[in-house]
Amino acid sequence: MAGLTKGMIADVKKKKAISLPEDFFNNPELKGMRAAMVIYFERSGEIRLIPMMREGGARVRLEVEKVNPALMQTMTQLFKQHDLKVLFTTGFCFEENRCVYEVYFAADEIREKEPTIRETIESIPGLYDAEFELLEIGVEW
C-alpha cells in the first residue's frame, strides 16, 4: 500500500551524499521542475529540499523593528509584482523591538529583478538591516 511519505535513515557521517527516491523524479506534480531549493537550518541541523519550477531564486533576510502589517503588505506586493514564488519563510523576535524575517523564493530572471527588489526592501519602515542573496543552480555552499 502506498503511503503519503517515504523515509529512510542515512549514515551521513560515512556517506555525505544522499540519493533521492526515483518516485521523486517520476512524480507528475513535479513535471516542470527545474531544480530544488536546499535550505540548511544552522541551529537545528535540519535540511529541507523544495522542488522549484523556476530557474533561480534568492534568500532575503530582514532585521526589522517588528513584523507588522506594513512589512507583510510590502513583501506581498513585491512577490506579486515580480512573480516571485515563496518557497519558505521563517522569523523570530529576539528582543522586544528587534525581529528577523527570512524568506526564500524562486523566480525566473532573478538577476534582472534584483535592483528593484533591493530598492523595495530598503524602503521598508523600521528596517535595521537587510541581506539579499542570489541563489543559482551550480553555486553550492
Distance, in Å, from the CA atom of 83 to the CA atom of 15, rounded to the nearest integer, reads 38
Beta carbons within 10 angstroms of residue 4's beta carbon: 4
Q: What is the mean pLDDT of residues 99-125?
A: 94
Listed in sequence order, the residues at least 6 apart from 28 whose beta carbon sits closer than 8 Å to its beta carbon are none
Kindly report which listed range (17-21, 31-35, 40-44, 95-99) carries the lowest average pLDDT score.
Answer: 95-99
pLDDT of residue 94: 82
Q: What is the mean pLDDT of residues 119-130?
A: 92
Q: How far is CA 29 from its chain centroid?
A: 20
Closest by CA to 59, choosing from 100, 107, 93, 102, is: 102
Grid coordinates in use for 45? Answer: 541541523
Contact between 86 and 60 (Cβ < 8 Å): no
pLDDT of residue 97: 82
pLDDT digits (tens, 9 = 90+) for 54-68: 989 999 999 998 888
Is 70 exceeded by the pLDDT of residue 117? yes
pTM of the model: 0.88
> Residue 27's pLDDT band (boundaries 50, 70, 90)?
very high
pLDDT of residue 34: 94
Q: Which domains does the chain have, with CATH numbers?
A: 56-136 (3.30.70.260)
Distance, in Å, from the CA atom of 97 to the CA atom of 69, rounded to the nearest integer, reads 15
The backbone torsions φ and ψ at residue 110, rounded to the nearest 5 degrees and listed phi first, read -65, -35
Contact between 18 and 12 (Cβ < 8 Å): yes
Instruction: Please give the helix or strand (H or E) that residue 118 lies within, else none.
Output: helix 110-122
Is 70 exceeded by the pLDDT of residue 2? no
